[in-house]
Structure formats: C-alpha cells, structure tokens
Amino acid sequence: MPRIQQLTPAVVSQIAAGEVIERPSSVLKELLENSIDAGSTRIDIELEQGGTERLCVFDNGCGIFADDLPLAFSSHATSKLTHADDLFKIGTLGFRGEALASIGGVARVLLQSRPPECDHGAEIRCEGGELGTIRPWNGAVGTRIEVKHLFFNTPVRKKFLRAIPTELGHIIDTVIRLAMAYPTLHLTLKHNGKLIHEIPATMGLTERIGMFFGGDVRESLREIRSNPGGMVDLWGYIADPSCDRGNAKLQYLYVNGRWIRDRSLSHAIQEGYRNLIMVGRYPIAFLFLDIPPDQVDVNVHPTKAEVRFRDSGALFSLIRQTIAKTLLGSNAIPALTVPA
Ligand code: ADP
Ligand code: MG
C-alpha cells in the first residue's frame, strides 16, 4: 500500500502551471490581462516562432515597485484582492495571483518595471521557478515582460505544442478577443520582426471588427442594446442573418470586459435568430454584458474562460429577446421564406 506524501513545491508549481499555461497564447492572455489591470493605454507584443521561443509584452501601466518584484512571481500573491468577500465583487481581470508564478515555473522570464512615481526601475529573473536577485533597470515607465523558451524544463508538455502557424493563430485569437473588449487600447503585434497588427487607440469597435473579420461583416452590423434600467446591460453588434457562417467562431461574448465561453448563452444567440437562418448555420454576434459583479462568479475555472451566473435563465431570455427584437425592427428578411 503506497504511503501518502506531500508533493514538493516544484511539482506543485508544475501542476498549477498545467491548469493555466497550455501554450504561448495562454501566456499572452495572462500578460495582457495584467497590463490591462495595470491601467495601460498602450501594449506592444513581440513574438518569435509563434511565441514558443520568445514572447514579450511591454505596457505603459502602473508598474511594480522594486521590492514587490519577487512577490509578483510567488503563487497566491496579488495586488488585486485582499479579503474573501472581494472574491464576489471582482473588478479586475486577474485575482488569483497564479499567472506569473506559473509562467516563471515553466519558462525563462525577465520582468522589468518602473512605476511612474519612481525615477528608476528594477528587474528580476525567474527561470524554471528559480528567482534571481533584484537589479536596477533603466527603462521607461511601465512593465516589460520577456518570456523565453516556454516549457524548456517540461519536455513532455513542450511536445504538445503545435506547428508555429497554429500557435500564432491562437495568439492572434487572443489579441483579437482583447482588442475588441478594449477599443481605446493601442495594441501592436510583431512576429519574427514583422508587424502583423497595429491597432491604434482611435480605431473603434466596429472598425476593429472590420479590420479583423472583413468589410462585409462590418457593413452588415446592427447595433443592439437592451432596455435601460435593468440590472444587466446588454449591448454590442449583431450581423444580418444573411451574413451567417458555417460555425460559431464569429460569436464573441464578454462579461464585464472578460471574454467567455458559455453554451447556454451561445444557444440564446442562436434562438434570437430563430427562423431567420437555416439549421447548421451560425449568426455573427459581438455581445457585451455588464453585470453587477456579485451576479457572476468568475472563480470557477482556472483560465476564467467559463463563469457561473446567478440567474443564467434571465440572461438567456435577455439575449434571445434583444436579438429577436433588433432583427424584427430592422426589416431583416426571414431567410427561410426566400426561395433558394
Ligand atoms: P494576478 O493578476 O491574479 O494578481 P499575476 O500572477 O498575474 O496575478 O500577477 C501578480 C501581480 O503582479 C499582480 O497582482 C500585479 O500586482 C503585478 N503585475 C503583474 N503584471 C503587471 C503589469 N504588467 N503591471 C503592473 N503590475 C503587474
Ligand atoms: Mg494576472
């Protein structure tokens, strides 16, 4: 009979990292969320080899004090949450204090930062969970994080990485999801020295949709908004039924600025288009829900891509009805009654 043993901290950190860091795009998601939480207005991303060799994020946010740099890499250390009660009114994208610890456990990371109130910045390295010393750094206000050689110390997980174009595709998806939720953010993305995306702060949401998904999608967008005064505010854009697709990839759903996946709410979108599109076809929708933080639990999934709602039935109806009403008011031609 095997005896029970305490796992070593190194194993614990690799298990924890496995929950959040699956591939370069998961690293990028965590870094971008930190930059947003830091109040950045500009974020520049540089990658090499789909982010597997090098992934670097620069921001102009609030920075980290030199003395706090080691804590940034320690697990369950965060500046975003203090009390247990705070868990039920989360207003930031991060709160678990796990991301940098996880990334530092499975890559070679250099963190450099300077808060606006400091004349000088500082830097620290964390490589495979080994923390270096704090050193002076002479950089601009904000934070710069460089993540190299992802999974260098976990060869089995490295083998799960896909070809560079696939990893780059996931990276671009991550950037698009964020760029749509924060349309006043200036974002740039470089891959192997080449500029792939430059998204200026002046480019609004519909322009961003046009840039990412094409002019025809943009042309067919209709604004959607729930009645004011409700506890939940639903707004965004939906496309004409005639602009339908063979999959649900162009359905984007955000809750309080966070991109999420939710089967029931995706079904509500589909139901809103009922009788307007054929079975097996999917509408295009970019929907944003602003919900009081105590009505949604974001602490159910390590990557926070799935959330739990207090009253998901009410949200289902809100989405279905608001879409149906918008389409009705916009003389959309029911596609199923038009002869093929
Ligand atoms: P969390 O975001 O859940 O707090 P992280 O591990 O992602 O946990 O980050 C740990 C802490 O490091 C954050 O709480 C924040 O104080 C600090 N931090 C990380 N990235 C940045 C950044 N880009 N700008 C300012 N502070 C940052
Ligand atoms: Mg974070």
Euclidean distance between CA atoms 141 and 120, whole angstroms: 9
- 183: three-class secondary structure by DSSP: coil
Residue range 275-299, pLDDT digits in tens: 999 999 999 999 999 999 999 998 8
What does the DSSP assignment read for 90-159?
--SS--SS-HHHHHHHHSEEEEEEE-TT-SSEEEEEEETTEE---EEE---SEEEEEEESTTTT-HHHHT
Contact 57, 24 (CB under 8 A): no
pLDDT at 301 over 60: yes
Q: Which amino acid is at 338?
A: V
ipTM confidence score: 0.99
Residue range 218-264, pLDDT digits in tens: 999 999 999 888 899 999 999 999 999 999 999 999 999 999 999 99
Pick from 123, 115, 109: nearest CA to 60: 115
Complete edge-to-edge strand list for the sheet that includes strand 221-225: 221-225, 233-239, 285-290, 251-255, 258-259
Instruction: Confirm or reject: Cβ of 62 under 6 Å from ligand 1.
Output: yes
Dihedral sign computed on CA atoms, order 340, 252, 175, 48: negative
Which phi and psi (to 5°) does residue 142 adopt? 125, -165
Residue range 96-105, pLDDT digits in tens: 899 999 999 9
* Tokens coding 284: 């295009």
Starting from the CA of residue 145, give the closest ligand.
1
pLDDT classification of 269: cutoffs 50, 70, 90:
very high
pLDDT classification of 330: cutoffs 50, 70, 90:
low
pLDDT classification of 332: cutoffs 50, 70, 90:
low
Question: Please, which residues bridge with residue 191 across strands?
Answer: 47, 194
Average pLDDT, the chain: 93
Instruction: Confirm or reject: Cβ of 74 under 6 Å from ligand 1.
Output: no
Residue range 172-219, pLDDT digits in tens: 999 999 999 999 999 999 999 999 999 999 989 999 999 999 999 999
Instruction: Confirm or reject: Cβ of 35 under 6 Å from ligand 1.
Output: yes
pLDDT at 20: 87
pLDDT at 331: 55
Domains, in order of start, for the chain? 9-199 (3.30.565.10), 214-334 (3.30.230.10)
Strand 194-199 versus strand 186-191 pairing type: antiparallel
**Spacing, Cα 99 to ligand 2 middle (Å):** 5
pLDDT at 317 over 90: yes
DSSP tally for the chain: helices H, then strands E: 10, 16
Question: What separation, in Å, do the N-terminal and C-terminal C-alpha atoms of the chain show?
Answer: 69
Which residues make Cβ contacts (< 8 Å) with residue 32, sequence separation at least 6? Answer: 43, 45, 57, 174, 175, 178
pLDDT at 335 over 60: no
Instruction: Confirm or reject: Cβ of 326 under 6 Å from ligand 1.
Output: no
Q: Which amino acid is at 192?
A: N
pLDDT at 87: 82
Query: String of b and e for 199-217 (b: at least 16 CB within 10 Å)?
Result: beeebebbebbbbbbeeeb
**Spacing, Cα 268 to ligand 2 middle (Å):** 30
Say which residue, 240 or 300, is predicted with more confidence: 240
pLDDT at 337 over 60: no
pLDDT classification of 340: cutoffs 50, 70, 90:
very low
